[in-house]
Amino acid sequence: MGLSMIRIWKLRRGSLCPAAALATAVIVRAQLNDKKGDLNLEKIYAHAIMRFFNFMSSTVQGHNWSSMYDKAQELGLPSFVVDIRHKCSHGTEMPPVDLLRTAADICLQWLHQNYWLPLKDTLCDLEAAKLESKENIKFRQKMAHQLSAFDLALECQIKSAHSLKAIKKIKPKEFNKIRAYLSKNKLKTPTEILDMVINKLNELVKQASTVKNLPDLYVAGNIKNEIFHGRLNIEDNEEQIIAVTERLFSLIAVHGFTENIFVALVQLTENVHEPDERRLGARYWALKMIETFAMISRIKRMFKEEQDKNDKLKPVDFSSLNRHILPKTIRTLIAHSGVDLSLTLMFGSSRKNPRAVLFDHEFFLKRLSYLSSFSAPILKA
């Protein structure tokens, strides 16, 4: 029964199945063959012990087989197991069956003590409905790949690294990753990467019809971005960073996730388990979003006043704020709204979710219960 469980575990997780679980299976299988009276017990046990040691050695750094005793010591295994392993692998004759049985028992006891018992309190049954679907996993992985490229390209652009030579100088560890992205998509500069990522993310959401909880998944992926961690020294490069990042916010708005990202940023500032740097980064972007909400409110009010005076005015689609090129009426309203375009995120409402972003009394009361120096400016705004 235990072997069946581990077999399912291996089928589901593939190469991510824990080495200790696989090592347990080979020992238990040998012991079951012993109980059945198999005639090739020496070979079965010898093979099981060698595989056990190989599995467990893979969890230790380094692959120098001359240091097997060091590995055994690091794992807490008796050197006796290494001796048996050597004898099985290189000896002219197999050790006696009784000795192999003893070695197998020692291996299984070690696994029980060092792996299964510590895991006992954390393992539990899961309902299939609560497991993440393959579609969700693929979506999350593809999104992470694109946003990682976005982070790297943005940093290169901020530091004026436009050529491969310049990129290698400032990002030597990630250079191959950037070069591979450029090559795969037939691009030449970090700026082109930023444009490509926005297009790829848009396609990804459009094709995500089978993805469950898409807004939550999309927002969770976004706030892992370096840009939201407060690590890119925003104050010194504010205009440049906002000019690039507002395209991410426009895309979020197009798909109707504006409220989701705002709430996620607010909750991030309230989370005492997050690093201060990350909480400050989240606060910065939440405040920037509030500035945009205020701007949208002003230009809508201004347009309503004009409409009351002139009923021939054509209705304005405020979702057009999400476009790269704004309509003339919107540009005029923004010009009279008193905002600094270079420091304001440009995004609007969504046709999927056209109403204004509204929060009820209970939402504010909840914010008060988590109030801190990080979140107070957001609540005030």
| pLDDT given for residue 313 in this prediction | 84
**Same domain flag for 344 and 266:** yes
| pLDDT given for residue 4 in this prediction | 93
| pLDDT given for residue 91 in this prediction | 66
Q: What percent of the chain has pLDDT over 70?
A: 94
CB 265 within 8 A of CB 286: yes
8 vs 12, 30, 304, 318, CA distance in Å? Answer: 6, 19, 63, 52
222 within domain boundaries = no
- Residue closest to 370 by CA, chosen among 306, 283, 261, 244: 283
| pLDDT given for residue 181 in this prediction | 92
315 within domain boundaries = yes
206 within domain boundaries = yes
In the 8-state DSSP scheme, what is residue 357?
P
Residue that wins the pLDDT comparison between 312 and 104: 104
Q: Which two tokens stand for residue 321?
A: 């704020």
pLDDT above 70: residue 62: no
**Same domain flag for 56 and 167:** no
Choose the most confident range, by mean pLDDT, from 218-232, 289-303, 338-352.
289-303
Q: Which of 73, 89, 120 is the last residue of a domain?
A: 120
Q: What is the mean pLDDT of residues 34-60?
A: 86
| pLDDT given for residue 318 in this prediction | 86
126 within domain boundaries = no
Q: Which two tokens stand for residue 34?
A: 């012993």
| C-alpha to C-alpha distance for 261 and 268, rounded to whole angstroms | 10
Q: Which of 212, 247, 269 is the last residue of a domain?
A: 212
**Same domain flag for 367 and 235:** yes
219 within domain boundaries = no
| pLDDT given for residue 189 in this prediction | 92
Task: Say which range, 145-154, 212-221, 347-356, has the weakest mean pLDDT.
Answer: 347-356
CB 62 within 8 A of CB 76: no
Q: b/e map of 175-192 (b: 16 or more CB within 10 Å)? A: eeebeebbeeeebebbee
| pLDDT given for residue 118 in this prediction | 86
The 3-state secondary structure of 193-225 reads HHHHHHHHHHHHHHCCCCCCCHHHHHHHHHCCC
| pLDDT given for residue 353 in this prediction | 64
What digits encode the pLDDT tens for the residues 235-293?
Answer: 778 888 888 888 999 999 999 899 999 999 999 999 998 889 889 999 999 999 999 99
**Same domain flag for 277 and 359:** yes
What digits encode the pLDDT tens for the residues 192-211?
Answer: 999 999 999 999 999 988 88
**Same domain flag for 207 and 323:** no
234: pLDDT confidence band, cut at 50, 70 and 90? Answer: confident
**Same domain flag for 381 and 232:** yes
340 within domain boundaries = yes
pLDDT above 90: residue 8: yes
223 within domain boundaries = no
pLDDT above 60: residue 66: no
Average pLDDT score, the chain: 87
**Same domain flag for 348 and 205:** no
| pLDDT given for residue 236 in this prediction | 77
pLDDT above 60: residue 63: no
**Same domain flag for 195 and 278:** no
Domain, as residue range, for 186: 134-212
pLDDT above 60: residue 354: no
Choose the most confident range, by mean pLDDT, from 23-37, 108-122, 342-356.
23-37
| 3-class secondary-structure state, position 339 | coil
Domain count, the chain: 3
| pLDDT given for residue 114 in this prediction | 87
**Same domain flag for 245 and 351:** yes
Q: What is the mean pLDDT of residues 299-313?
A: 89
Task: Say which range, 119-133, 172-186, 353-367, has the weakest mean pLDDT.
Answer: 119-133
What digits encode the pLDDT tens for the residues 101-145?
Answer: 999 999 999 999 888 998 887 777 777 667 778 888 999 999 999
| pLDDT given for residue 314 in this prediction | 86
**Is the overall model pTM greater than 0.85, yes or no?**
no
Task: Supply the angle between the helices 41-57 and 79-90 in degrees, to the nearest 10.
Answer: 120
Q: Which of 120, 155, 185 is the last residue of a domain?
A: 120
**Same domain flag for 104 and 73:** yes
64: pLDDT confidence band, cut at 50, 70 and 90? Answer: low
125 within domain boundaries = no
**Same domain flag for 68 and 114:** yes
**Same domain flag for 264 and 381:** yes
